[in-house]
Amino acid sequence: MLKIVGCTHTGRRELNEDSFLADDELGLAAVADGMGGYSSGEVASAIVVSTLWNDLKEGKSNLEQAVANAHLEVKKGVLEGRGGAGMGSTVVAAKFDGARFDLSWVGDSRAYIWDGHELKQISRDHSYVESLLSRGIISAEDAKTRNDRNLVTQALGAEALVELDIGSCEGDLYQGELLLLCSDGLNDELGGFEIARLLHDHAAEGLESCCEKLVQASYDAGGKDNITVMLVANDMPVPDAARVECRIVETHNLSGHSEYFPLDVPNDGAHITSSESVTEEFTTTQVYAVKPKSQLDYDALEDHVGSGTPGWLIGLIVVILLLGAVGLLVYLGIISF
Protein backbone atom coordinates (compact mmCIF):
# COMPACT_ATOMS: atom_id res chain seq x y z
CA MET A 1 0.00 0.00 0.00
CA LEU A 2 1.13 3.53 -0.80
CA LYS A 3 1.13 6.41 1.62
CA ILE A 4 1.42 9.94 0.25
CA VAL A 5 1.74 13.09 2.35
CA GLY A 6 2.44 16.69 1.46
CA CYS A 7 3.04 19.97 3.23
CA THR A 8 3.62 23.52 2.06
CA HIS A 9 4.71 26.87 3.50
CA THR A 10 4.50 30.38 2.09
CA GLY A 11 8.07 31.06 3.19
CA ARG A 12 9.00 34.71 3.57
CA ARG A 13 6.64 35.72 0.79
CA GLU A 14 3.17 37.24 0.93
CA LEU A 15 1.52 34.61 -1.27
CA ASN A 16 1.92 30.87 -1.74
CA GLU A 17 1.94 30.11 -5.47
CA ASP A 18 2.68 26.39 -4.97
CA SER A 19 0.00 23.70 -5.22
CA PHE A 20 0.24 20.00 -4.44
CA LEU A 21 -1.91 16.92 -4.92
CA ALA A 22 -1.88 13.73 -2.85
CA ASP A 23 -4.27 10.90 -3.75
CA ASP A 24 -3.33 7.54 -2.22
CA GLU A 25 -6.20 5.72 -3.90
CA LEU A 26 -5.33 7.01 -7.35
CA GLY A 27 -1.60 6.65 -6.63
CA LEU A 28 -0.95 10.22 -7.68
CA ALA A 29 1.41 12.80 -6.18
CA ALA A 30 2.17 16.16 -7.78
CA VAL A 31 3.84 19.48 -6.96
CA ALA A 32 3.31 22.59 -9.09
CA ASP A 33 5.21 25.84 -8.56
CA GLY A 34 3.35 28.76 -10.10
CA MET A 35 4.87 31.91 -11.51
CA GLY A 36 3.44 35.18 -12.69
CA GLY A 37 2.84 37.15 -9.52
CA TYR A 38 -0.26 37.97 -7.52
CA SER A 39 -3.50 36.36 -8.79
CA SER A 40 -1.55 34.49 -11.47
CA GLY A 41 1.02 32.01 -10.20
CA GLU A 42 -1.31 30.37 -7.70
CA VAL A 43 -4.00 30.12 -10.39
CA ALA A 44 -1.60 28.44 -12.83
CA SER A 45 -0.39 25.86 -10.30
CA ALA A 46 -3.97 25.09 -9.22
CA ILE A 47 -4.99 24.55 -12.87
CA VAL A 48 -2.06 22.14 -13.29
CA VAL A 49 -2.84 19.87 -10.33
CA SER A 50 -6.59 19.87 -11.00
CA THR A 51 -6.02 18.96 -14.65
CA LEU A 52 -3.74 16.06 -13.68
CA TRP A 53 -6.24 14.77 -11.15
CA ASN A 54 -9.23 15.00 -13.49
CA ASP A 55 -7.47 13.46 -16.49
CA LEU A 56 -6.00 10.54 -14.55
CA LYS A 57 -9.05 9.93 -12.37
CA GLU A 58 -11.22 9.60 -15.47
CA GLY A 59 -8.64 7.54 -17.34
CA LYS A 60 -8.43 10.10 -20.15
CA SER A 61 -4.68 9.85 -20.54
CA ASN A 62 -1.40 8.69 -19.07
CA LEU A 63 0.67 10.99 -16.87
CA GLU A 64 2.75 12.53 -19.64
CA GLN A 65 -0.34 13.27 -21.72
CA ALA A 66 -2.03 14.80 -18.68
CA VAL A 67 0.97 17.11 -18.17
CA ALA A 68 0.76 18.17 -21.83
CA ASN A 69 -2.94 18.87 -21.36
CA ALA A 70 -2.19 20.93 -18.25
CA HIS A 71 0.06 23.12 -20.40
CA LEU A 72 -2.87 23.82 -22.72
CA GLU A 73 -5.24 24.39 -19.81
CA VAL A 74 -2.99 27.07 -18.30
CA LYS A 75 -2.87 28.86 -21.65
CA LYS A 76 -6.63 28.49 -21.94
CA GLY A 77 -7.01 29.95 -18.46
CA VAL A 78 -5.27 33.14 -19.57
CA LEU A 79 -7.63 33.51 -22.54
CA GLU A 80 -10.64 32.98 -20.27
CA GLY A 81 -9.50 35.61 -17.80
CA ARG A 82 -8.45 33.23 -15.04
CA GLY A 83 -5.17 34.45 -13.63
CA GLY A 84 -3.14 36.80 -15.75
CA ALA A 85 -1.09 37.04 -18.91
CA GLY A 86 2.34 35.46 -18.56
CA MET A 87 1.36 33.06 -15.80
CA GLY A 88 2.86 29.60 -15.84
CA SER A 89 3.90 26.74 -13.61
CA THR A 90 6.45 24.02 -13.16
CA VAL A 91 5.33 20.51 -12.25
CA VAL A 92 6.74 17.24 -11.00
CA ALA A 93 4.31 14.34 -10.70
CA ALA A 94 4.36 10.60 -10.04
CA LYS A 95 1.61 8.13 -10.93
CA PHE A 96 1.85 4.73 -9.23
CA ASP A 97 0.61 1.33 -10.27
CA GLY A 98 1.58 -0.83 -7.33
CA ALA A 99 5.24 -0.16 -6.56
CA ARG A 100 5.99 1.03 -10.09
CA PHE A 101 5.65 4.68 -10.95
CA ASP A 102 5.72 6.95 -13.96
CA LEU A 103 7.44 10.28 -13.29
CA SER A 104 6.97 13.43 -15.38
CA TRP A 105 8.26 16.94 -14.86
CA VAL A 106 8.51 20.35 -16.50
CA GLY A 107 10.71 23.11 -15.08
CA ASP A 108 12.83 22.87 -11.94
CA SER A 109 10.58 21.17 -9.40
CA ARG A 110 12.41 17.98 -8.46
CA ALA A 111 12.08 14.30 -7.64
CA TYR A 112 14.46 12.34 -5.39
CA ILE A 113 14.68 8.77 -4.12
CA TRP A 114 15.91 8.22 -0.56
CA ASP A 115 17.04 4.65 0.12
CA GLY A 116 18.12 5.13 3.72
CA HIS A 117 21.75 5.80 2.85
CA GLU A 118 21.83 7.87 -0.32
CA LEU A 119 19.70 10.61 -1.86
CA LYS A 120 19.29 10.23 -5.63
CA GLN A 121 17.97 13.06 -7.78
CA ILE A 122 16.00 11.46 -10.64
CA SER A 123 14.61 14.53 -12.43
CA ARG A 124 16.80 16.85 -14.48
CA ASP A 125 15.92 20.54 -14.19
CA HIS A 126 14.70 22.42 -17.22
CA SER A 127 16.79 25.44 -16.29
CA TYR A 128 19.46 27.64 -17.78
CA VAL A 129 22.03 26.59 -15.21
CA GLU A 130 21.29 22.88 -15.71
CA SER A 131 21.76 23.32 -19.46
CA LEU A 132 25.28 24.59 -18.73
CA LEU A 133 26.01 22.01 -16.06
CA SER A 134 24.82 18.99 -18.03
CA ARG A 135 27.12 19.90 -20.92
CA GLY A 136 30.13 20.47 -18.69
CA ILE A 137 30.22 24.22 -19.27
CA ILE A 138 30.13 24.95 -15.53
CA SER A 139 30.86 22.80 -12.48
CA ALA A 140 28.39 21.55 -9.90
CA GLU A 141 29.96 23.88 -7.33
CA ASP A 142 29.58 26.87 -9.67
CA ALA A 143 25.92 26.03 -10.25
CA LYS A 144 25.09 26.42 -6.55
CA THR A 145 26.13 30.09 -6.40
CA ARG A 146 25.01 31.51 -9.76
CA ASN A 147 22.49 34.36 -9.70
CA ASP A 148 20.64 32.90 -12.70
CA ARG A 149 19.93 29.48 -11.21
CA ASN A 150 16.19 30.24 -10.99
CA LEU A 151 15.78 30.83 -14.72
CA VAL A 152 13.73 28.00 -16.22
CA THR A 153 13.73 26.97 -19.87
CA GLN A 154 10.41 25.09 -19.75
CA ALA A 155 7.15 25.97 -18.00
CA LEU A 156 3.55 24.93 -18.39
CA GLY A 157 1.60 27.75 -20.01
CA ALA A 158 4.67 29.56 -21.34
CA GLU A 159 3.58 31.31 -24.54
CA ALA A 160 7.06 31.45 -26.06
CA LEU A 161 7.52 27.68 -26.12
CA VAL A 162 7.61 26.20 -29.60
CA GLU A 163 7.44 22.69 -28.19
CA LEU A 164 6.91 21.52 -24.62
CA ASP A 165 9.72 19.31 -23.33
CA ILE A 166 8.33 16.92 -20.72
CA GLY A 167 10.91 15.00 -18.74
CA SER A 168 9.87 11.47 -17.87
CA CYS A 169 11.08 8.16 -16.49
CA GLU A 170 9.77 4.92 -15.01
CA GLY A 171 10.89 3.36 -11.76
CA ASP A 172 10.06 1.17 -8.77
CA LEU A 173 9.85 2.33 -5.17
CA TYR A 174 11.24 -0.34 -2.83
CA GLN A 175 10.00 -1.02 0.68
CA GLY A 176 11.85 1.32 3.04
CA GLU A 177 12.51 3.89 0.33
CA LEU A 178 10.92 7.31 -0.03
CA LEU A 179 10.06 9.27 -3.13
CA LEU A 180 10.45 12.99 -2.46
CA LEU A 181 8.84 15.60 -4.72
CA CYS A 182 9.48 19.29 -4.07
CA SER A 183 9.33 22.81 -5.38
CA ASP A 184 12.67 24.57 -5.62
CA GLY A 185 11.95 26.38 -2.37
CA LEU A 186 13.35 23.27 -0.67
CA ASN A 187 16.51 22.60 -2.67
CA ASP A 188 17.36 26.29 -3.12
CA GLU A 189 17.88 26.54 0.64
CA LEU A 190 19.06 23.02 1.48
CA GLY A 191 21.80 21.08 -0.28
CA GLY A 192 21.55 17.39 -1.09
CA PHE A 193 23.57 16.41 1.99
CA GLU A 194 21.29 18.46 4.27
CA ILE A 195 18.15 16.89 2.77
CA ALA A 196 19.68 13.42 3.14
CA ARG A 197 20.59 14.07 6.77
CA LEU A 198 17.08 15.29 7.60
CA LEU A 199 15.51 12.23 5.95
CA HIS A 200 17.90 9.94 7.82
CA ASP A 201 17.18 11.58 11.16
CA HIS A 202 13.40 11.98 10.90
CA ALA A 203 11.96 9.37 8.49
CA ALA A 204 11.26 7.00 11.39
CA GLU A 205 9.05 9.64 13.02
CA GLY A 206 6.45 9.25 10.27
CA LEU A 207 5.95 10.86 6.87
CA GLU A 208 3.96 13.84 8.16
CA SER A 209 6.58 14.76 10.76
CA CYS A 210 9.45 14.24 8.34
CA CYS A 211 7.74 16.40 5.72
CA GLU A 212 7.22 19.19 8.23
CA LYS A 213 10.86 18.98 9.39
CA LEU A 214 12.09 19.40 5.80
CA VAL A 215 9.88 22.44 5.23
CA GLN A 216 10.85 24.01 8.56
CA ALA A 217 14.56 23.48 7.90
CA SER A 218 14.23 25.16 4.51
CA TYR A 219 12.38 28.08 6.09
CA ASP A 220 14.99 28.41 8.83
CA ALA A 221 17.76 28.39 6.21
CA GLY A 222 16.29 31.45 4.50
CA GLY A 223 12.85 30.53 3.17
CA LYS A 224 12.97 33.10 0.39
CA ASP A 225 10.48 31.15 -1.74
CA ASN A 226 7.37 29.07 -1.20
CA ILE A 227 8.31 25.60 0.04
CA THR A 228 6.39 22.45 -0.86
CA VAL A 229 7.43 18.87 -0.07
CA MET A 230 5.73 15.55 -0.76
CA LEU A 231 6.82 12.13 0.50
CA VAL A 232 5.66 8.78 -0.84
CA ALA A 233 6.28 5.46 0.91
CA ASN A 234 5.55 1.94 -0.33
CA ASP A 235 5.20 -1.27 1.69
CA MET A 236 4.80 -3.57 -1.32
CA PRO A 237 7.76 -5.83 -2.15
CA VAL A 238 9.57 -5.54 -5.49
CA PRO A 239 11.68 -8.49 -6.74
CA ASP A 240 15.26 -7.38 -7.37
CA ALA A 241 15.30 -9.03 -10.78
CA ALA A 242 12.25 -7.06 -11.88
CA ARG A 243 13.29 -3.66 -10.57
CA VAL A 244 13.19 -0.66 -12.90
CA GLU A 245 15.12 2.49 -11.98
CA CYS A 246 15.07 6.03 -13.29
CA ARG A 247 18.33 7.46 -14.57
CA ILE A 248 20.16 9.25 -11.78
CA VAL A 249 21.12 12.92 -12.17
CA GLU A 250 23.01 13.41 -8.91
CA THR A 251 23.66 11.48 -5.70
CA HIS A 252 24.36 12.64 -2.16
CA ASN A 253 25.32 10.45 0.78
CA LEU A 254 25.58 11.02 4.52
CA SER A 255 29.34 11.48 4.42
CA GLY A 256 28.92 14.59 2.30
CA HIS A 257 30.07 13.02 -0.97
CA SER A 258 28.09 13.89 -4.10
CA GLU A 259 28.35 12.79 -7.70
CA TYR A 260 26.81 14.48 -10.74
CA PHE A 261 26.03 12.73 -14.02
CA PRO A 262 25.78 14.85 -17.21
CA LEU A 263 23.29 14.03 -19.93
CA ASP A 264 25.61 11.85 -22.00
CA VAL A 265 27.31 9.99 -19.16
CA PRO A 266 25.88 6.74 -17.69
CA ASN A 267 25.33 6.47 -13.93
CA ASP A 268 28.49 4.40 -13.52
CA GLY A 269 30.65 6.78 -15.53
CA ALA A 270 32.56 10.00 -15.05
CA HIS A 271 31.08 13.07 -13.43
CA ILE A 272 31.67 16.79 -13.45
CA THR A 273 33.88 18.08 -10.64
CA SER A 274 34.57 21.63 -9.51
CA SER A 275 38.14 21.42 -10.83
CA GLU A 276 37.02 21.26 -14.46
CA SER A 277 37.10 24.56 -16.31
CA VAL A 278 35.16 25.25 -19.49
CA THR A 279 33.75 28.30 -21.21
CA GLU A 280 30.13 29.44 -21.09
CA GLU A 281 30.15 31.66 -24.16
CA PHE A 282 29.08 28.94 -26.59
CA THR A 283 25.75 28.13 -25.00
CA THR A 284 22.61 29.09 -26.92
CA THR A 285 19.91 28.00 -24.48
CA GLN A 286 16.76 30.12 -24.72
CA VAL A 287 15.19 31.24 -21.44
CA TYR A 288 11.41 31.19 -21.71
CA ALA A 289 10.27 31.92 -18.18
CA VAL A 290 11.55 33.15 -14.87
CA LYS A 291 10.58 32.74 -11.24
CA PRO A 292 12.21 35.81 -9.67
CA LYS A 293 12.88 35.64 -5.95
CA SER A 294 14.98 38.76 -5.58
CA GLN A 295 16.42 41.67 -7.51
CA LEU A 296 19.38 39.43 -8.36
CA ASP A 297 16.99 37.18 -10.30
CA TYR A 298 15.59 40.13 -12.25
CA ASP A 299 19.15 41.20 -13.06
CA ALA A 300 20.00 37.67 -14.17
CA LEU A 301 16.95 37.59 -16.42
CA GLU A 302 18.04 40.80 -18.11
CA ASP A 303 21.38 39.15 -18.85
CA HIS A 304 19.63 36.40 -20.83
CA VAL A 305 16.41 37.83 -22.22
CA GLY A 306 15.96 40.98 -24.29
CA SER A 307 19.42 42.35 -23.61
CA GLY A 308 20.51 42.04 -27.25
CA THR A 309 19.27 43.98 -30.28
CA PRO A 310 16.21 42.32 -31.87
CA GLY A 311 16.77 40.66 -35.23
CA TRP A 312 14.20 42.80 -37.07
CA LEU A 313 15.92 45.98 -35.87
CA ILE A 314 19.31 44.73 -37.03
CA GLY A 315 17.81 44.02 -40.46
CA LEU A 316 16.27 47.49 -40.65
CA ILE A 317 19.56 49.13 -39.75
CA VAL A 318 21.36 47.14 -42.46
CA VAL A 319 18.80 48.22 -45.10
CA ILE A 320 19.09 51.89 -44.07
CA LEU A 321 22.89 51.74 -44.23
CA LEU A 322 22.79 50.14 -47.68
CA LEU A 323 20.37 52.75 -49.02
CA GLY A 324 22.52 55.50 -47.57
CA ALA A 325 25.63 54.07 -49.20
CA VAL A 326 23.90 53.85 -52.59
CA GLY A 327 22.64 57.44 -52.24
CA LEU A 328 26.14 58.67 -51.48
CA LEU A 329 27.59 56.90 -54.52
CA VAL A 330 24.89 58.44 -56.74
CA TYR A 331 25.55 61.90 -55.26
CA LEU A 332 29.27 61.56 -55.98
CA GLY A 333 28.55 60.46 -59.51
CA ILE A 334 30.25 57.12 -59.05
CA ILE A 335 27.08 55.29 -60.10
CA SER A 336 23.96 56.46 -61.90
CA PHE A 337 20.53 55.10 -62.74
Query: 324 and 211 in one domain?
Result: no
Average pLDDT, the chain: 84
**Residue (of 195, 246, 239, 199) closest to 218 by Cα position:** 195
Query: 88 and 226 in one domain?
Result: yes
**Residue (of 145, 147, 149) closest to 132 by Cα position:** 149
pLDDT of residue 144: 81
Q: Is 54 helix (H, G, I), strand (E, B) or coil?
A: helix
Query: 46 and 148 in one domain?
Result: yes
We report the CATH number of the domain holding residue 166 as 3.60.40.10
Q: Is 195 helix (H, G, I), strand (E, B) or coil?
A: helix
- Number of domains within the chain: 2
Query: 323 and 279 in one domain?
Result: no
| Cα angle value 292/294/296 (rounded, 5°) | 95
- Domain ranges, residue 71: 2-304
Contact 225, 293 (CB under 8 A): yes
> Higher model confidence: residue 304 or residue 288?
288
Query: 67 and 192 in one domain?
Result: yes
Q: Is 36 helix (H, G, I), strand (E, B) or coil?
A: coil
Alpha helices per DSSP H over the chain:
41-57, 63-79, 128-133, 140-145, 184-187, 192-202, 207-220, 295-304, 311-331
Q: Is the pLDDT of residue 281 over 50?
A: no
Task: State the Cα–Cα distance between residues 324 and 196, nearest whole angstrom.
Answer: 66
Contact 263, 124 (CB under 8 A): yes
Residue percentage of the chain with pLDDT more than 70: 77
The whole-model pTM stands at 0.81
Query: 232 and 318 in one domain?
Result: no
pLDDT in tens, 161-179: 668 999 999 999 999 999 9
Task: State the Cα–Cα distance between residues 169 and 115, nearest whole angstrom.
Answer: 18
> Higher model confidence: residue 83 or residue 231?
231
Residue percentage of the chain with pLDDT more than 90: 64
Query: 190 and 84 in one domain?
Result: yes
Task: State the Cα–Cα distance between residues 30 and 185, nearest whole angstrom.
Answer: 15
Query: 322 and 223 in one domain?
Result: no
Query: 325 and 252 in one domain?
Result: no
pLDDT in tens, 293-330: 444 443 444 444 333 334 444 455 656 666 776 666 66
Task: State the Cα–Cα distance between residues 149 and 301, nearest whole angstrom.
Answer: 10
Query: 314 and 271 in one domain?
Result: no
pLDDT in tens, 58-98: 998 999 999 999 999 999 999 999 988 889 999 999 999 99
